[in-house]
A and B are shown apart, each in its own frame.
Chain A
Amino acid sequence: MTNSAQRFTLESDHLGDHLHAHGVSRRDFLEFCSKLAVVLGLSETLGPRVAHALQVAKRPSVIWIQLQECTGCVESVLRTVEPTIGNLVLDLVSLDYSHTVMAAAGHQAEAALQKAMQENAGKYLLIVTGSVPLAEDGIYTTIGGRTAKAVLEDAAKGAAAIIAVGACAHWGSVQAARPNPTGAVGVNEVIKDKPVINVTGCPPIGDVVTATVAHFLTFNRLPATDSDGRPLFAYGKRIHDQCSRRAHFDAGQYVEVFDDENARRGWCLYHVGCKGPATFSPCPIFQWNGGTSWPIGAGHPCIGCTERHFWDTMTPFYGRLPDVGGFGVESKVDLLGAALAIGAAAGVTGKGVSHGGHQSGRRPHNPH
């Protein structure tokens, strides 16, 4: 995933002093680092190493560009619990460009971007939200008079690594659902010569984004990923295998219609369309908004938003996934995942394959 040229150069500076001056004691700081290590899927004993990495760093430059998107991913990061967005922006990194929160606009904003890219060439971390519309030479999204593609390519040049945040930056998301009117694609369709990690979801949980940033800053590399570029510490397991309602699935206890007696007992949502058996996501473990709840916890089926092409492969959202066995589920779900992947590819290339019961209105004369 990384090589030496792409490693982040830690400059000798004094974050430890900064923190001390902030009234953060050494003990509190080490405790924080141990917790962070756990969040990152590491042993708590690695806390001191995290501490060392954070203490020697000058606040590293982070540039966050927003392309064709809805800003939901930015909002999600605003909800992080540890570190908070305030800690992140004031104490841990130098967020040198962010459309949503930066003070400057127009020329001053562009100048801030150019300055950060020049001063931190080869070292800054690039966060991208939003997709890149490639149709019609990119006229469907322009920023400062330049296309989203040009903005991304320019920002990617000097980046040490790129975090593609959200389903749009991952593969295009809702605007890339059939018929993908603007030719929207994800970051790694455009940038091929840099490490790109996909912190996916619509949106992803904010804490997964900040944990990925912290991982990079601490270990000088991006975390390990699955075959779709998603960090294993968050996307390594299937919802179905970690679901708090799994026992009801195994017992054959299902909600048959919303708000029935079984729904009021908290039974399994598979029969009302849950896509948990085909979805790899941190939702059941991290949960949302500081561990408050998660979609299945609040009685709604998973819609599979961390999976590529879920708007086509997982719809209709209330339709039942086929052939999910009660036990020995691994092999069947693996097969299912493969089938979904094939279906997704067909959906994108417009071969007219229908799956999951959805038929695009663009092909009214081709029902199947």
Chain B
Amino acid sequence: MAVTKVVVDPITRIEGHLRIEAQAEGGRITNAWAHSTQFRGIELVMQGRDPRDAWAFTQRICGVCTVVHAVASCRAVEDALGITIPPNANLIRNLIHGMQFIQDHVIHFYHLHALDWVDVISALKADPAGTARIAKAISPWPNNSETYFRAVQDRLKRFASGGQLGIFTNGYWGHPAYKLPAEVNLLAVAHYLEALDWQRDVIRVHTIFGGKNPHPNFLVGGMASAINLDGTATINTERLVDIQGMIRRAREFVEQVYWPDLVAIAGFYKDWAAIGGGVPNFLAVGEFPEAGVNDVDKLYFPRGIILDKDLSKVHPYDHKLVKEYITSSWYTYSGGDAAGLHPWEGETTPRYTGPKPPYQYLQDQQRYTWMKAPRYEGKPMQVGPLSRMLVAYGSGHAEARELVGAALAKLNVGPAALFSTLGRTAARGIETVLLARRMEVWFGQLVERIKSGDTRTFDKAHWEPSTWPASCEGYGYLDAPRGALGHWVQIRDGKISRYQCVVPSTWNCSPRDGQGQLGPYEAALTDNHPLVQPDQPLEILRTIHSFDPCMSCGVHVLDATGAPVVSVKVQ
């Protein structure tokens, strides 16, 4: 049978610009390439800036991950300047970042990923009474009547009846890989719409502490939102009560809608627990410091590495063992392209060697992406919810073990099922449940601190540049919704002299390295992976979306010396 060349560009329902190329034969994918086709060069822009401004620049790497780069940047600069933020500021950042996770994962499930599993058009044929029966069987969520689901279906019918399908135009409706009964499809459509309303409510935690969302404001040294229970323009009881309500509504939706839906839908797609595993190594830098950012033994999601799917041993993580390779990327290194460089020595000099646009294929090119290839001790790593939950599981995290075990039991599958496309999607739900519960703990701790008289949110000791050393460097880690993130900053004479980020999607979307090892997207697409109709790439979307790609995050540039970008040669 002939090999079919497949191009999917743009991959939609993601952040940023991703192109997937593949080769398919006999209904299987035999080879795959992940291409990042956007480059912005933000780190180069940051050279010579005030390090206290860095969070705002790096935040704009991504408006979906709107918290993560800002906090990682603050941590890097605080590490460099020797700043310890007050406990209240740490709790506030946890609340902001926690709600980012919860909101982002729910949006990912319903609005980015669900249409890979849910046939919207099939929902038109559903029996609303049947949907109501299913809804009541899996959840106490109150919107569960036949009347309710009929109204949703009627809305959908009217939407479709005029022939204008809008965002659902040219979807893969009727594809044989869709397995859900019409009644479950209708349930998912109803919750697609509910989640849209829910997310804009709960995210207001960011607005109260950071003034807006997307892109809330942060501050090196703490948070700018002062606490004064008697103030009209500060964090007071009215604001705290508002936040408490959001945390409650977040948990209710996650426990009563997102998680039951995920388990119900997964039950129809158990075959995807054997598809798309890919790279067998998993890295988590850990997140949610509960005793300050430097006490890495007290992170709610623990730090560590799982190698070769062996959950019996969690290996330590040392950021100095990260190196980035460029043999498949549109960059050049001054010391030769075969080298791997740690971010402290990182260089990013663009050198485009691809075809002149418009082009048809990139898979015949040795260099094919703006993404570099980070490796840990030479190994590719998956990062993200699955990595965190595997590391938590292996580390004996009681709550994670309980939820993972319950999920596996409910689906009647063994732990090997985790290493798959379905495993990545399920792990995202599991950690969302954990966080939705943990938010209440952090909120309670914040209230207790205020009650005890501690309202400090900012450490001013090293705010003024006159207090800074002439030269210093810092590392800020953060485990973001999409996985392990690191920011590295060097400061000279009060200005940024070097800035480097290694970002979740750089790990996951990395290309081949000099050893020929595929990156996680590429490896997953070639691991027991079907593609029934090459011109209908539904299966590719399932596996790629299970990683929740964020391309703007993944591509960045730093030039170590501040030299301008070198000339670019177009073939």
Which residues on A sit within 8 Å (CB–CB) of B62?
A: 70-72
Cα(A319)–Cα(B494), bound, Å: 14
Contact indicator B211/A258 (Cβ below 8 Å) = no
Question: Which residues, 337 to 376 on B, are CB-close (under 8 Å) to A?
Answer: 350, 352, 354, 356-360
Q: Flag the segment in B37-45, B306-314, B378-386 that touches A.
A: B37-45
Q: Flag the segment in A136-144, A156-164, A228-236 that touches B.
A: A136-144
Which residues on A sit within 8 Å (CB–CB) of B41?
A: 175, 181-182
Distance in Å: Cβ of B466 to nearest Cβ of chain A: 13
Write the A81-113 contact mask toward B (1 if CB under 8 angstroms, else 0).
100111001110111101111111111110110
Q: Does A298 contact B (CB under 8 A)?
A: yes
Total contacts A-B at CB 8 Å: 355
Closest to B55 in A: A317
Q: Does A332 contact B (CB under 8 A)?
A: no
Contact indicator B196/A179 (Cβ below 8 Å) = no
Tell whether A103 pairs with B570 under 8 Å between CB atoms, given A78-B196, A317-B52, A317-B53: no
Which residues on A sit within 8 Å (CB–CB) of B158?
A: 18, 21-22
Contact indicator A358/B17 (Cβ below 8 Å) = no
Q: Does B225 contact A (CB under 8 A)?
A: yes
Contact indicator A68/B38 (Cβ below 8 Å) = yes
Tell whether A139 pairs with B151 under 8 Å between CB atoms, given A257-B463, A300-B224: no
Write the B156-200 contact mask toward A (1 if CB under 8 angstroms, else 0).
101100101011111110000000000000000000010011011
Tell whether A104 pairs with B170 under 8 Å between CB atoms, given A80-B200, A296-B211: yes
Which residues on A sit within 8 Å (CB–CB) of B228?
A: 264-265
Contact indicator A361/B497 (Cβ below 8 Å) = yes
Write the A189-202 contact mask toward B (1 if CB under 8 angstroms, else 0).
00000000000001
Question: Which residues, 97 to 150 on A, are CB-close (under 8 Å) to B?
Answer: 98-109, 111-112, 115-116, 133, 135-147, 150
Tell which of A74, A76, A182 has the most Cβ of chain B within 10 Å.
A182
Cα(A141)–Cα(B169), bound, Å: 25
Tell whether A203 pairs with B13 under 8 Å between CB atoms, given A103-B171, A145-B357: no
Contact of B170 among A100, A112, A245, A315 (CB under 8 A): A112
Tell me the interface secondary structure of chain A in the complex: loop
Contact indicator A84/B197 (Cβ below 8 Å) = yes
Contact indicator A298/B221 (Cβ below 8 Å) = no
Contact indicator A103/B207 (Cβ below 8 Å) = no
Distance in Å: Cβ of B229 to nearest Cβ of chain A: 10
Contact indicator A76/B42 (Cβ below 8 Å) = no
Which residues on B sit within 8 Å (CB–CB) of A71?
A: 15-16, 62-64, 552
Contact indicator B210/A300 (Cβ below 8 Å) = yes
Which residues on A sit within 8 Å (CB–CB) of B72?
A: none
Cα(A86)–Cα(B231), bound, Å: 37
Cα(A33)–Cα(B46), bound, Å: 45
Contact indicator B226/A263 (Cβ below 8 Å) = yes
Q: Does B73 contact A (CB under 8 A)?
A: no
Tell whether A299 pairs with B234 under 8 Å between CB atoms, given A103-B115, A202-B60: yes
Tell whether A108 pairs with B224 under 8 Å between CB atoms, given A293-B208, A295-B212, A361-B495: no
Closest to A256 in B: B460
Contact indicator A266/B231 (Cβ below 8 Å) = yes
A interface residue numbers (CB < 8 A to B) = 13, 18, 21-23, 58-59, 68-76, 78-81, 84-86, 89-91, 93-96, 98-109, 111-112, 115-116, 133, 135-147, 150, 173-175, 177-182, 184, 202-203, 205, 244-245, 257-260, 263-266, 283, 288-290, 292-301, 303, 311, 315-319, 357-362, 364
B interface residue numbers (CB < 8 A to A) = 7-17, 19, 37-42, 44-50, 52-53, 56-57, 60-64, 66, 107, 111-112, 115, 120, 151, 154-156, 158-159, 162, 164, 166-172, 193, 196-197, 199-200, 203-204, 206-217, 219, 221-222, 224-228, 231-234, 242, 350, 352, 354, 356-360, 455-458, 460, 463, 495-497, 535-537, 541, 552, 557, 562, 564-565, 568, 570
